[in-house]
Structure formats: structure tokens, C-alpha cells
Structure 1
Amino acid sequence: MSLDGTYDDGNIFAKILRGEAPCAKVFEDGEVFAFMDVFPQSRGHTLVIPKHSVARNLMDEEPQVLQPLILGVQRVTRAVRAALNPDGIMVSQFNGAPAGQTIFHLHFHIIPRWEGVALGRHGEGGMADPAALKALAEQIAAQIA
């Protein structure tokens, strides 16, 4: 999919927000929802999305949605750091299929990194064990200030 198009309210993130698809929830407030990536690139790979949005990518989003969203990304990133003690953390956001976007609902990836541990490929690894994701979500959630 290109950078332009119509929002598909049948995408998996929209279904998660409506409670139609399961997830391992990390954090939720009035504006932001964070949950574990089911195809993680590393242990603790977390996604953060806006709750009230039909933006496919960053350029489609309204400024009043971006402020609480990026603050939510920062809050969850700090919790990932506190919970998992990684050597580094990659925060990424893709716009359009050629850039690596696979779900066309604006979202940020929080990916913990450890020295000497290879990063999995985006969207191509095996599906994680739901029980392990739930345990990680609880561990990270416990660190949210």
C-alpha cells in the first residue's frame, strides 16, 4: 500500500481497539493503547497506537493526536527500560509498505536491544507464545509511572 489511501477499519489494530481481537495489553489511557507485538523482533517488542484515530500513517494524523501519542510512546519506552534493562531501545515508525509498514493504522514500535543479540525481521518472525507475551506485558505494565 502506498502513502495515500482510505483507512480500513477492519485492520487488526482497529479490531484490537474495539475488543474484537485479543492482545497482551501493556497500557491504556484516554488517548493511547500499548500492547505486545505478536511477531516480536526482540523480547519485549511493544506497540503504541492512538485510540481515537483513522490515520494510516504519521502524515495523516492530526497534531492534537500526536502530542499525547508521543508522550505515551515515551512513557511506555521508559517502562520497557525499567522492566527489561536492555542495552538500548529502538523506537520506530513506518509510513507506507515500501518503508516496511504492514498494518495501516498509525503505530510506533518500541524494540529493546541487547548487545550480541540479533534483531528479528519485521513482521517475519514466528508468532510469540500468548502466555509469554502476557507475562511480559504485566512486567512492563508494572513499571509504568
Structure 2
Amino acid sequence: ECGVALEQSLEGLQVTQDSYNTQRTFCTRLERNADMLYEQAKTALLNNEEEKAKSLLFERTQVQQKLKKALVACAEEKQRLAKLQSNVDALEQRALEVESLLNRAVGAKALQDSSNMDLLSLDDEDPLLRKFQDMGID
């Protein structure tokens, strides 16, 4: 049960990590796009193309709005990732505890079985021979 939960959590952690990385890449792309539009608008102004500059700045504003939303989503994804990592760490700790308990139980069972074998080997002796030994006759 603990192993299955851990495996599922690790898969979820990987998916969330991938999603976070994708979100970060998207934010970086939007930021670069906004910067590029700003540079193009500056160039348009230098070339006395005010309408083009205005259009580029308007487009930049739209990209910046998308960027803000993407950054919020990225921050939320980062929080989910941190929470999942914390949960996975706790599950890994629990799995180690369970494994330790199982190993101890197996070791105790093996010790008990070996003790039982010693008792069985005593029972294999001839009862008449034991009676003579008890009387002190070898």
C-alpha cells in the first residue's frame, strides 16, 4: 500500500515538474516577445512610424497581460510542486520505516524457525537412549 502510494506520488511529482518547466518556458518566451515588441516600437518611432509604434506597444501590452497570468500560474505550479515534494519525502520516509519493520520481522521469524529446528533435533533422539542418559548410564 505504501509502495503504491509512493509510486503514484513520484509519477505525479514528475508530471507536475514537467508542467512547471513548461510554464516557465512559456513565461520566458512571453517575456522575450514583449521585449522584442518594445524594441521594434522604439525602432518604429525612430523611423517616424508612429502608428506602427503604437500598434506594437499595444501588442506588447497584451503580451504583458498574458505574461502576468502565466507568472501567476507558474507560481501556483511551483507551490504545488513544493507540496508534492514534501508529500513524496514523507512517503519515502514511511516506506523506509515499513521496510525496516519487515526486515526485522523476517529476521525474527528466521531466528524463531532456527530455534524450532534445534528443538526438533532433540526430539529426534531415541527415547530409550535418553532415559539411559538421564539415569547416568552412557
Q: TM-score, normalised by structure 2?
A: 0.22
Q: TM-score, normalised by structure 1?
A: 0.21
- Structure (1/2) with the larger strand percentage: 1
- Structure (1/2) with the larger helix percentage: 2
Higher-Rg member (1/2): 2
